Chain A
Amino acid sequence: MSDFNITVNGRQVPVIKGQTVLQASLAAGIDIPVFCWHPQLVPVGACRICLVEIEKLPKLQVACATIASEGMIVHTDSPKTIKVRQGVLEFILAHHPLDCPTCDKGGECDLQNLTFKYGLDYSRQHEPKHRVIVDANSTFDDLQIGPEIIRNQNRCIHCYRCTRIVDEIAFEDDLGAYQRSYHTEILPPPGREIRNLYSGNIVEYCPVGALTNDDWRYKVRVWLTKQTSVICPHCPDGCNMKLWNFHNKLFRATSRANENIDNGFICDIGRYGYQYVASPDRIKRPMVRRSGELVETSWEEALSLIRKQTDDIKSKLSGSGFFGFIGDIRTNEEIYAFQRLLRRVIGSNNIDHRFHRRRRLTPGEEVSSRGIESDNAEFKDIENADVIVVLGSDLHSENPITSLRVKRAVKRHNAKVILLNPLPTPLGKRAATLEVIYKQGTAAVLLHGLIDAVVDLERFDPSAIKLSAAEISDFRKANAAYAGVRGSEITGVDVTLVARVAEILAAAQNVFILAGSYVERDPLRDSLHLAVANLQSFCKSARKIFLPPDSNSVGAAFFGAEPTVLPGRQSWGKKAIYEDLWHGPIPDAPGKDTIGILEAIDEDEIECGLVFNADPVRLFPDGEYVRSVMEKLKLLVVIDSFMTDTARLADVILPLSTFAEIEGTRVNWEKRMQYSQRAIPPLHESKPGCEIIELLADRLGVKFNQSKPSDVYQEMARFFPTGAPTTYAAIGRDGFLIRSAETNKPGKLAYLRFVAPAIDTEYRFILLVGNADHHRGTLTERNEILMKFTGEPFVGISEADATDLAVSDGDLVKVESKYGRVVGKAMILRDFPSKRVLLPENFGEMSTNILMGRQDKIDMIKLAKM
């Protein structure tokens, strides 16, 4: 493993070529103090605390930036080194306020710890300490520099970790070091504040208490808190976090550096996301509907009511009169137990987790027969790619940490990033080489045009790909209608821009394609999936990932929350295994998916629903229709933590614990299974999902004796690849990958048949649904801190349309479709294409699904000033 040895303090220390003296020493367990160094940042050698003596060199050298070379003899504890170390500490402490008793960093402060370890117990500094006074009436020199971040310049030791994180990791520009000498101040640029999506990291990595944030500040001492290791439930990246609680109250979340995933940097949505756990809006006790009103009741009464009513329905319609929805953010254990409850206890296969905004839930024949799914790829593969194609994804908001990997690839080896999106996204200005904006619904045409442009290039080398000359020429012939200018007329993308993208793709050695939510919502989703597969075939070496919509969508699909597959993605033929395992029969035929379920309710074939942390009324297209259908149910049982739009229609509500109150496993987009601990006991009268499901199963007649997630996990473990851990204790820091062999079956290139949707002259604007800054999905609006960043919904329109409609920022506008209308404040977006409207999906007061039709291919709306 190691290339050679160096001598540190007389010990032989193995070195891998390129390592610094510090890295080699730390790996060997030799401690060298640091302030400014961070494993993910480029060393700057600013703090000078890591100065060490290296023989044959006249001066002391900073261990953090000195590359170890063979035969080096290093002393980290020589008298010279110790004197300088104490000198540097003395310099830093000279003007550092000794306000440790009121400083939040106390107890976990690098300066405290290193002074304790290496410093002197007296000071020669008699001059008055410098102070940057913010408020003359206060001894706390706190300055609010962003919605959540507070700076105390006096405590700053000028390690520049914060500015370097913002610059090198996040590619943002909202924090800098101003002035010179000891006057150097950490500030956002004049007139701005620090509010980027990764801003919380600067607090976590500040070695002293100079940067603090509101959730933790002046609230609790660190040594009194308990830490638990959890997995962030907010997006499919699956960042590792620590939750810090004191007396069962959560105070903050920090990263738990996992090089496989987050490298120690988490986004603000994850960092402050835990706040919804303690929201006052939580459903505290079970509720039942009495004479039209939902009233609080006891668990016993609620469960009895469910039993009584389900008996009636079951005798009338048997199991097929029931359905279940489960949210993608639940743990695998809950998903598994829930589908088992439906299949085995109730006898219904009508189960789905895909009530997101999609019209077509299951891929068509052409896609499924070719098995076009995400390839087996990891975060690290993004970093190694030389060209990264982001297709139909606001990666910055939807997968913030994947976005950091893309930036890292740019930083490390200048990877080219190509964005193909229906709207400009934040990643565009920060890391993109080229940003292409296509007309919503034409992405498949764009990709085919792009392939044609690649083949057209001189440098295109057909021998590097696995296609025959005949295949290529046939494809080009079939593709002629989408190539060049003809394609450009459909997509609205300039031919020269397509040619520039093609240049980059043709030169690429290793392409990584990330397809996001706009691919899933695309009216031609199947064609687009096939087009992505085609593009992959034309690249020398490419991988593709279809990013799942929610934090555990992969787990939900794997553990049977779909009507047509059994846990472990087993087909119906393997039914006997499950009947054996669950000691009883399960229904013969596959069940209905979300669309089928809604239609069946409408036709009175289904009368009872179990909705587990799901909100189809808010999310599935044509909200008014979904609401009217749900209202027809004889019994609607909602198991949730919040009063969602669906819960308001419920007959019985059971309070559900949130991610911090349960343990369990989650699967991120890499298909990496990770274990999340329970941080605090369930709040109020809520119960963890597995316990609720066991109670329901017991009440409905089948006992599994698996109310603990660990019991469920043991049963699930039989579906894992061989060698996977069968107990929680055995799941390591890296988790494990639940992937099958390569799924892609070699197949012919798919030919596209594109028919432009008919344009209704009245509804001329295309509706695009996205995320507001610092929001993702529907949970973030329950979060006080994230609401500080974006507090209300908006209607994003282009500058040109704003001029046409005489609308200025903040004016009320009406957005109307054939199905419904919403009203919101206009927000004029720079560089936004005209005839498009962006609505955030994060705010309950402006749900966007009521504007969408169930059958429409593309959502067209009209816009008017109020």
Chain B
Amino acid sequence: METKLLTQHVGDPQQHTMERAIEHGAYQAWQKVLKEIAPADLIQIVKDSGLRGRGGAGFPTGLKWSFVPKDSLKSKYLCCNADESEPGTCKDRVLLEGDPHAVVEGMMIASYAIGCHTAFFYIRGEYDIGQVRMSKAIADAYAKGFLGKNILGSGYDLDIVVHRGGGAYICGEETALLSSLEGDKGLARLKPPFPAVEGLYRCPTIINNVETLANLPHIVVKGAQWFASLGTEKSKGTRIFSVSGHVKNPGNYELELGYSLRDLVYGLAGGILDDRPLKAIIPGGSSTPVLLPDKIDTKLDFESVAAAGSMLGSGAVIVMHEETCIVWVAEILAHFYMHESCGKCTPCRQGTGWIYEILRRIEAGYGKMEDIDTLLDIADNIEGNTICPLGDAAVVPVISTIKLFRDEYVYHIEHGKCKVHSQFKLRTK
């Protein structure tokens, strides 16, 4: 059973309009916040609710907000990160296209909490409809007096600026997003200083994911206690899971955290395509380790997935049945990371390309047995040694597939062909 909280009205084709959104209760939370709640109390409410970031790392949102220096004379900024580019992930997209007002309202509430008067909405360039609808929603909010100067007579000013990215995965990384927003090339920056202390234009900046922000109106209206009652002990609320790959009904499913992976794959998603046996699952987007079928009963919350040896990440569940060549999967993912590496720091710039080239060679049937150890060693030299987490993400598919499917790599190298796709990719010598 889905628990429809954020996606409750997404199916309504008119939900993106101001009239329909208001019919469905939009901006009630915003009015309540402006009238009744002080920023410090708001941060406490979000802390109490146990809301954790939906971008991938799962960092407690209220805690993140509280890192903004209170006595700083500098402007404070909020950035909504809608640069959703992780392979397999499309959860933010449904919200941007299906219920943009919820995201706008979330941005307003977060801005109010941290004392920001100019918020930025950074959306990846390819999200065209999302961008159009968000811009319209923001314009409508201005018209209604929910944005601008002295909002609803509260004395609080807020502007929201929409910025379209150029289509770079790296700009989903918060410091690269800030560089891009400032008009520079999207390159990651060294941390510290962390954005909460010194971010956009060297001012305190909070970067929150679309889905995180969309939760805020619900928390404000229904209360922290109500939100905390959803989910597990440490993972509260719901999440939107994007199921893709070899399932009968791929799509986005909003589930209470702690839902069983088996029920998602075999229940809601309708089971494996052609009813073939399951081979592997990536539970949280391409940068999370692969799980074997024996972990199918894992509960979908931050802690359980971590205990199973992976991460909940961005909630993109990629399902692979038995006719999937794992080396090929690794090669495709490696190509993605090579292509998306920003090129700033050495290990990621050179390492991702090298990994891809070795994998391509193995997949094409020209692998050497020492390549496997070389791959692991390259991965070790990248992991933890880069400026931003892209390097760490890039080596995950390599390490986890070698760990779990070493025999397939060995078969590729020994036979010059694939165990699964035996009909093609023969060594031609």
Contact = CB atoms under 8 A, between A and B. Distances in A.
Contacts of B339: 180-181
B343 A87 contact: no
Contact of B351 (A45, A91, A124, A160): A91
Contacts of A130: 353
A127 B347 contact: no
Interface string A166-207: 000000000011011111100000000000000000000000
A189 to B, nearest CB: 13
The 10 closest A-B CB pairs, nearest first, are: A87-B381, A91-B350, A184-B343, A127-B357, A181-B341, A59-B384, A181-B343, A45-B190, A48-B346, A91-B346
Given A43-B190, A181-B352, A91 B381 contact: yes
A379 B370 CA distance: 59
Interface string A402-434: 000000000000000000000000000000000
Contacts of B357: 127
A377 interface: no
B182 to A, nearest CB: 13
Interface residues of B, number: 33
Contact of A44 (B185, B190, B352, B358): B190
B386 interface: yes
Contacts of A44: 190, 344
Interface in B342-378: 342-347, 349-354, 357-358, 361, 370, 374, 377-378
B381 A94 contact: no
B340 interface: yes
A58 B384 CA distance: 9
Q: Which of A51, A180, A184 has the most CB of B within 10 A?
A: A180
Interface of B: 168, 170, 185, 190, 338-347, 349-354, 357-358, 361, 370, 374, 377-378, 380-381, 384-387
B374 A94 contact: no
Contact of A182 (B349, B378, B384): B349
Nearest to A45: B190
Contact of A48 (B340, B354, B380, B385): B385
A158 B343 CA distance: 8
B384 A60 contact: yes
A124 B353 CA distance: 14
A91 B347 contact: yes
Interface string A79-95: 00001100110111011
B387 A45 contact: yes
Given A124-B370, A127-B354, 11 more contacts: A46-B346, A48-B346, A48-B385, A84-B385, A88-B347, A92-B350, A127-B358, A130-B353, A158-B346, A179-B343, A182-B341
A62 B190 contact: yes
Interface in A10-61: 43-49, 51, 58-60
Contacts of A258: none
Contacts of A92: 346, 350
A81 B409 CA distance: 30
**Most-contacted residue by chain A among B349, B352, B377, B384 (CB, 10 A):** B349
A667 to B, nearest CB: 41
Interface in A506-521: none
A279 interface: no
Where chain A touches its partner, the secondary structure class is loop
Interface residues of A, number: 37
A376 B411 CA distance: 79
A184 B381 contact: no
A183 B386 CA distance: 18
Contact of A45 (B170, B338, B345, B381): B345
Nearest to A94: B350
Interface of A: 43-49, 51, 58-60, 62, 65, 83-84, 87-88, 90-92, 94-95, 124-125, 127, 130, 157-158, 160, 176-177, 179-184
A626 to B, nearest CB: 54
Given A48-B345, A158-B346, A182 B385 contact: no
A754 B96 CA distance: 68
Nearest to A127: B357
A45 B191 CA distance: 10
Given A59-B384, A83-B381, A94-B354, A184 B345 contact: no
Contacts of A88: 346-347, 381, 385
A90 B350 CA distance: 9
A124 B387 CA distance: 24
Contact of A180 (B343, B374, B378, B384): B343
Nearest to A183: B343
A181 B190 contact: no
Contacts of A160: 344
B341 A47 contact: no
15 contacts: A46-B346, A48-B385, A59-B385, A60-B384, A83-B381, A87-B378, A95-B350, A124-B374, A130-B353, A177-B185, A180-B339, A181-B339, A181-B340, A181-B341, A181-B343
A176 B183 CA distance: 14
A173 to B, nearest CB: 12
Nearest to A59: B384
B349 A184 contact: yes
A558 to B, nearest CB: 46
